[in-house]
Amino acid sequence: MSDTSRPGPVTPAPDAPAGQAADSGTAGPSVPESAASKPSAPAAVPDAHAADTDTEPAASATPAEPSAAEPPEPPTAVRPTWLRARPRPRAYAWVALSLLLLALPFYLDRFWLQAGLFAMAAAIGAIGLNLLTGATGQLSMGHAFFLAVGAYGYCVLAGGNEVESGHQLTGFGLPTWLAAVLAVCLAGLAGGVFSPIAGRLRGAYLGIATLALIFVGQHVLFNARDLTGGFNGRSVPPLSLFGFDFDDAELVVAAVPFQSMEKLWYVALVALLACGLFARGVLRGRPGRAMNALRDHRIAAGVMGVPVARYRAAVFVLSSMYAGLAGVLLALVFQRTVPEYFGMILSLEYLAMIVIGGLGTVAGAVVGAVFVSLLPQVLTRWSDALPLVSAPGTGGVSPGEASRYLYGAAVVAVVLFLPGGLTRLVPSSREKK
């Protein structure tokens, strides 16, 4: 049992650094008021510790709530001065990182911007999957299906009735921002339709049941040609927000020509930040405790008053909405959706992301997503400089394959040597205390 608990109930700690980090990240560039929320961070510390030392995960489900109110007082009286007296490298790191992210479109070329956008879209999808698989312990192999629902939902809702490569396509011609919102809701709805199964099954049963979604999705994408364009896919109408078009029309900002990638970069940053903060809120609040309790001991969670089936279904819906948003972003970046992309390999990639980054945390999902989605791009770009990797089509190990070896091996190795994922490499400030 002590061995089993290693990857399991420790999660209250891993989500702590994510929280701390994101806190100071927002505080840096934009919101000075959130400095006021700083003392609340140490206030949460004893809470996290209480959950940490508690080996009965069920106990951390609900009773953590009331205990957070009274006992934290004594330590908070001491810590703020101690914290204020020390310079916090973490905060500076986050300010630097956010400035870097904001400045990147001015320096990078289209290839790397696109790669970065993929990584951000993937990060949003991975956060969703981590809520489901990492925090709640519900294995899903059908994440690619919900990505497809988001991507194609956006295309169909925003696209017009048009003839593309000799085929009549149906579209609703809605304003693109509305189409994006509706596409996310549509993905949530698809998740909701699956809830009779998502709410009742777990483990391998759910994993293989969701595998069915991939095949259903592929079937629909190839056959509903009026909506999806069949094999050739469908072109994606560019996003337009408050009269501002995120298309390829050039716009010069500070002597740098801004095309779709540069413009979308900021949309993706905002979306990722919002998604990350929301997921962090969910994970650290009452629902997060309930989800972890469900994962660690379903029956105990049920006894403590967590509605098991409803929670599972709700998390499934939430995770599909995240996937839907990721799908919309991917479609906007790709500028064309093709059904082949949304296959089983994509689902496996998302699972690899959250395992490599760290199960059950927002930071883990983001780190994993960046790792898995940038790896093939890096290998492609420098394939001739790397040993053992050759350009695609020359018969050797292509960059795509090489990256698959790497993250396949990374999944196995991370679980073995680094339970908790890559985010564990950065020691959390809370653990040191």
Partner 1 sequence: MTTFTELLLGGLSMGSVYALIALGFVVIFKATEVVNFAHASLLLAGGYVTAVLHDDLGFWPALAVGIAGAAVVGSAVDFLVMRRYRGSDHSVLAIVTIGVDILLTTELTRLIGTDVMALGDPWGDRVVNLGEITIAQTRIAAFAAAALLITAFLLAFRYTSWGVAMRAAAENPQTAALMGVRLGRVSMSAWAVAGALAAVAALFLTVFPTPGLERATSLAALKAFPAAILGGLDSTTGALAGGLIVGVTESFATGYQSELTFLGGGIGDLAPYLVMLLVLLARPAGLFGTKELARV
Give residues in contact with partner 1 (CB under 8 A).
Answer: 3-4, 6-8, 137, 139, 196-197, 200-201, 203-205, 207-209, 211-212, 215-216, 219-220, 222-224, 299, 303, 344, 348, 351-352, 355, 397, 401, 404-405, 407-412, 415-416, 419
Nearer residue to partner 1 within complex by CB, 176 or 218: 218
- Torsion angle of the four alpha carbons 213, 363, 329, 130, in this order, in degrees rounded to the nearest 10: 10
Q: Rounded to the nearest whole angstrom, what is the least distance from the CB of residue 17 to partner 1 in the complex?
A: 21
Neighbours of 388 (CB within 10 A): 9
Q: Shortest Cβ distance from residue 402 to partner 1 (Å)?
A: 9
Q: How far is the CB of 299 from partner 1 (least distance, A)?
A: 5
Q: Is the dihedral of CA 368, 373, 377, 383 positive or negative?
A: positive
CB of 366 to partner 1, least distance (A): 19
CB 321 within 8 A of CB 143: no
Specify which residues 201 forms β-bridges with.
none
String of DSSP letters for 262-323: HHHHHHHHHHHHHHHHHHHHHHHSHHHHHHHHHHH-HHHHHHTT--HHHHHHHHHHHHHHHH
List the beta bridge partners of residue 251: 258
Q: Looking at beta carbons only, is 226 or 245 nearer to partner 1?
A: 226
Nearest C-alpha neighbor of 38 from the set 19, 13, 57? 19
Residue 374 CB, nearest approach to partner 1 (Å)? 17
Nearer Cβ to partner 1 (8/80): 8
Among residues 13, 3, 256, 313, which one has the least CA distance to residue 140? 313
Q: Which is nearer to partner 1, 32 or 395 (CB)?
A: 395
CB of 385 to partner 1, least distance (A): 21
Query: Which is nearest to 431 in space by CA: 24, 20, 32, 4?
Result: 20
Closer to partner 1 by CB, 105 or 191: give it: 191
List beta partners, residue 253. 256
Q: Which residue has the tokens 């609703």?
A: 172
User: Which residue lies nearer to partner 1 by CB, 110 or 219?
Assistant: 219
Q: End-to-end distance of the chain based on CA atoms, in angstroms?
A: 26
If the CB atoms of residues 72 and 360 are measured against partner 1, the closer one turns out to be 360
Q: Closest distance between partner 1 and the C-beta of residue 253, in Å?
A: 41
